Amino acid sequence: MLGFEHHDHHSCIRSGVAAAEAHCMAEGLQFTPVRRRVLEILLERHAALGAYDILDVLRDEGLGSQPPVAYRALDFLVSNGFAHKIERLNAFVACTHMGEDHNPAFLICRDCDAVAETQADTARGALAKAAGSTGFRVERLVVEAVGLCPRCQQVTPA
């Protein structure tokens, strides 16, 4: 899991983009400049970004200035598993398990909005079981934990 710790962020961006590009190539999807750039922005910041934050960057770079441009790119990235939407924040993050089939769960710091992605396999199993007994069929699962990241626990104890 990619958490709150340090890491080689430069290579993390490069490999993320590369994985997405490879996947698009393989699937015949168009990895257009806007889509690529939005993914890069998400990877660069490594945090939850609102659609309008992303749009601001795109606008500065002349890649688009209206909301639909950002939302469409984000829809593409989310649909193809390159990014996730954090419902709690109305924001988006790059996926840290590009291409792998996984059950993402997110740890969201209520102080600094940092987001870490981890796995929710156990949760999915338990939920699917409970749901199954009522006849409900689970298709997607949103798991978002809100709390304090290690960094903010020092600044804001209690």
Partner DNA sequence: TGCGATTTGTTATAGTATAACATATCATCA
Partner DNA sequence: TGATGATATGTTATACTATAACAAATCGCA
Question: Which of 113, 60, 94 has its CA nearest to residue 52?
Answer: 60
What whole-number distance in Å separates Cα of residue 18 and Cα of residue 20? Answer: 5
CA distance 83 to 133: 32
Q: Least distance (Å) from DNA to the CB of residue 10?
A: 25
Using the minimum distance from each CB to its own copies, give the nearer residue, 18 or 128.
Answer: 128
Partner in contact with 9, chosen from DNA, Zn ion, its own copies, none, beta carbon below 5 to 8 Å by kind: Zn ion
Q: Which does residue 46 bind out of its own copies, DNA, Zn ion, none, counting CB within 5 to 8 angstroms by kind?
A: Zn ion
33-45 helix and 9-27 helix, angle to the nearest 10 degrees? 150
**CA-to-CA distance for 145 and 61, rounded, in angstroms?**
34
> To the nearest whole angstrom, how small is the minimum distance from the Cβ of residue 95 to its own copies?
17
Q: Which residue has the tokens 């899991």?
A: 1
Partners of residue 86 on adjacent β-strands: 91
Stretch that binds DNA, among 31-39, 104-112, 118-126, 142-150 (CB under 7 A): 31-39
Q: Is 66 in the site for DNA (CB under 7 A)?
A: yes
Binding residues vs DNA (CB under 7 A):
28-30, 32-35, 50-52, 63-69, 71-73, 75-76, 90-91
